Structure 1
């Protein structure tokens, strides 16, 4: 299926202008969130967060920190909600997309403030090529957790799938500002660099 055909299937009817505006708004929000976080932490007042450590980590330490961060993301505070997330992700890994979406929709209904539930469902929607629904869930994920680098990367993947190379490049670059050793984002920047060369981002 061509990118143009995929684009017309976006169920939420998001226009190109809406997508461009949404990405611009996210990038502004993300930058402001980073600034506020940095200003709100006085030197020596507390231990750096895992995401702060990730920004300056070696490749070896980055892999460990990413695992720890992802484990934190998966903690909802409720064993029942954690189980729904596990079932949804297990179904997703098995390619059972309808079942995955069912579990993850139950999770987002019952725990709407749990960012990872929205992120996991976005991955399922993306695999079904339901790009509009994936965009919505990624937007919610990032509203709840602006430093969720996996969701930022996912948003970049959707943008690239829709032919929005400049937006995708900006998002992959944002991922690297949070996680400099994110291999997929590094490859995305390298892949798109020539296409966006000379284009204002």
Structure 2
């Protein structure tokens, strides 16, 4: 009885007793192990997904990948900056984010967060510069593109805002706010052309 139990336990833990040559044909494709590979697959999934809630979950997973800096110090400064933003202490948040982008200039989310704080402070020029750097590092950053679209709209550049929202939708087709903005701006621009 113990031998039979041990056999079934081993079978459960280690898979079927298919010989290795046959097992290769039945093995699922490898799971993306690098951050870039995971992001690439998530973006493919995001573009294909037609359910809004499922797309939101995929977008949240992408955001979770973006926020991982690989440095405990950077992650801590990002947390402190977020707390400062929540307390409306934008200058304090900028101090932390300045350190983040100085210490880890290839970390796109640091630039994106700093762009967001500049936007909240109506520093649109500085926000645009940080958005540009974010998009150089991660061209698929739909959050940065959304920020760009908002700045273009606020500053009266409706055509540029529409183009930015359309770029967002090419990456994240089910983003409801982008869909709404494309519809609204398209109608406004069509009305102005009459």
Match of 1:101 among 67, 79, 94: 94
- The CA deviation at 1:103 is 0.7
Match of 1:113 in 2: 106
Match of 2:143 in 1: 150
- The CA deviation at 1:46 is 8.2
- The CA deviation at 1:199 is 8.4
Unmatched runs of 5 consecutive residues or more in structure 1: 1-43
In structure 1, distance between residues paired with 2:181 and 2:78: 28
Match of 1:163 among 149, 156, 159: 156
TM-score normalized with structure 1 length: 0.73
Unmatched runs of 5 consecutive residues or more in structure 2: 1-28, 33-39
Alpha-carbon deviations, 1:93-128, whole Å to 9, x = none?
221111111111110111100000000000100111
CA spacing shift, 1:148–1:199, aligned 2, 3 Å: farther
Match of 1:10 in 2: none
In structure 1, distance between residues paired with 2:166 and 2:192: 15
Q: How does 1:23-172 map to 2 (within 5 A)?
A: 49-57=41-49, 58-172=51-165
TM-score normalized with structure 2 length: 0.76
Structure with more contact order per residue of length (Cα contacts < 8 Å, sep ≥ 6):
1
